[in-house]
Structure 1
Amino acid sequence: MKQAPFIAVEGPIGAGKTTLASMLAEELSLPVIKEIVEENPFIDKFYQNMDDWSFQLEMFFLCNRYKQLKDTVTEYIDRGKPVISDYHIYKNLIFSDRTLQGNERGKYRQIYHVLTDDLPKPNIIIYIRAELDTLLKRIAKRGRSFEEGIDHSYLQQLIEDYDAAMASLAEQEPSTPIITIDGNAVDFVENKEQFEAISSRIKELM
């Protein structure tokens, strides 16, 4: 049986994932799954000292995203109901490969695959790509205290990591469409026509 539409919105920190996912959920009358960020008890410590707190941070995110997606399967996917999420579970590998080293990275990858390999994957991906200046402006605008001192080189590396990850996903799952949005030029919040173009494209794929 064909899986119901499972849409994931992805992109680096500050790209506008949650905003776009929420707007599309309202436009398409879909339930929206939002990742837990500010509730992570290790996030402040992580931005102060990435080396000491990266494993705890990544494990918290992984376990919470796993629980959310497991519930999503039960509530929506198994019942043939479409749903939209403001993340793809694959992002755990994007971030952990950047922050973890050696044995910790290996252990994390093992746990990731044990938890996620049998979960349904999104069958429509929206990738918001944006340059560093754009991300920094959006991060400043939303005003999260723990992001105030974010390392610019870390954020730039994430941009490159996301490009590589989307290319990898395209190879792994060639039947899954990846819609790339130029976050530097497209303002789906202020420009109604640009948002409607995105939502129309999603409707065509559902």
Structure 2
Amino acid sequence: MPQVPFIAIEGPIGIGKTSLAKKLSVHFDFHLLKEIVEENPFLGKFYDDIEEWSFQTEMFFLCNRFKQLEDIEQKYLNQNKAVIADYHISKNMIFAKRTLQPDKFDKYEQIYHILTKDMPVPNIMIYLHASLDTVLKRIRLRGRDIEQNIKASYLSQLAQDYETYMNEFEVLHPDIPVIRINGDEMDFVNHQEDLENIINLVKQQMCNHKAISKQ
């Protein structure tokens, strides 16, 4: 685990991960790592026909996120420079379990573990969650064409998958604090007070991390 702050923000599609990452990177002057989404040439087809295009979509995301993290480790974390990311690469397994057929998932899982076994792990996780209504509203507001065909049922399942994943994450990584933010109650984009509350939570965890690192 890196000694400098390496913060990852996770949560379902459209929840506001990138918006929060941008605001926190500006406030703390951390390098911003953004996941590659719209560059995925299979994503539009995936939302139209998940079963047909899931393997190509997930493999593209995995390979690109691996390369991003490899670069971040060399250029920033190993140089003692803090990073905040709008994703954590382990999210790949959330989507893969939901979308891939068992035979393809087995192959995907093997590749995933080979690629990620030496990847840096965040020392703080921020988990954004909200009701389906809030998620759908935010997806409509940002207006990405490729997301307009996402089914509400898929988003609902995904939210449940994230909740299960984050509960398991806290058990498997008790040394990595998880800051949970309810998107139904906090609007950090339009309300500065909500953003300040999140900033204070992050500051508190960074102070705790520094104290542990010095021991």
TM range (shorter): over 0.9
Change (3 A) 1:22 1:138: same
1:1-206 aligned within 5 A: 3-206=3-206
Counterparts of 1:171 and 1:157, CA distance in 2:
22
Give the drift of 1:188: 0.4
Counterparts of 1:200 and 1:28, CA distance in 2:
11
* One-letter amino acid of the counterpart of residue 37, structure 2: V
Counterparts of 2:135 and 2:158, CA distance in 1:
11
* One-letter amino acid of the counterpart of residue 41, structure 1: P
5+ residue gaps, structure 1? none
Residue 2 of structure 2 contacts residue 121 of structure 2 at CA under 8 Å; is this kept in 1? Answer: no
| Identical counterparts, % of pairs | 53
Q: SS at the partner of 2:71?
A: helix
* One-letter amino acid of the counterpart of residue 105, structure 2: R
Counterparts of 1:2 and 1:190, CA distance in 2:
32
Counterparts of 1:160 and 1:29, CA distance in 2:
33
Q: SS at the partner of 2:139?
A: helix
* One-letter amino acid of the counterpart of residue 21, structure 1: A
Counterparts of 2:168 and 2:5, CA distance in 1:
21
5+ residue gaps, structure 2? 207-215
Counterparts of 1:51 and 1:187, CA distance in 2:
34
Q: SS at the partner of 2:180?
A: strand
Give the drift of 1:76: 1.2
TM-score, length of structure 1 as denominator length? 0.98
Counterparts of 2:2 and 2:144, CA distance in 1:
40
Counterparts of 1:67 and 1:37, CA distance in 2:
14
Counterparts of 2:146 and 2:176, CA distance in 1:
34
Counterparts of 2:134 and 2:2, CA distance in 1:
38
* One-letter amino acid of the counterpart of residue 177, structure 2: P
Give the drift of 1:159: 0.4
Give the drift of 1:2: 5.8
How large is the RMSD of aligned CA atoms in angstroms? 1.0
Encode CA deviations 1:128-153: one digit per residue, 9 max, x unaligned: 01110000000000001111121111
Count of paired positions: 206
Give the drift of 1:68: 0.2
TM-score, length of structure 2 as denominator length? 0.94
Q: After alignment, is 16-25 or 188-197 more displaced? A: 188-197
Counterparts of 2:25 and 2:163, CA distance in 1:
25
Q: SS at the partner of 1:84?
A: strand
* One-letter amino acid of the counterpart of residue 120, structure 2: P
Change (3 A) 1:161 1:2: closer
Residue 2 of structure 2 contacts residue 77 of structure 2 at CA under 8 Å; is this kept in 1? Answer: no
After the TM superposition, list the runs of 4 or more consecutive aligned residues in structure 1 that deviate by more than 4 angstroms: none
Counterparts of 2:98 and 2:163, CA distance in 1:
14
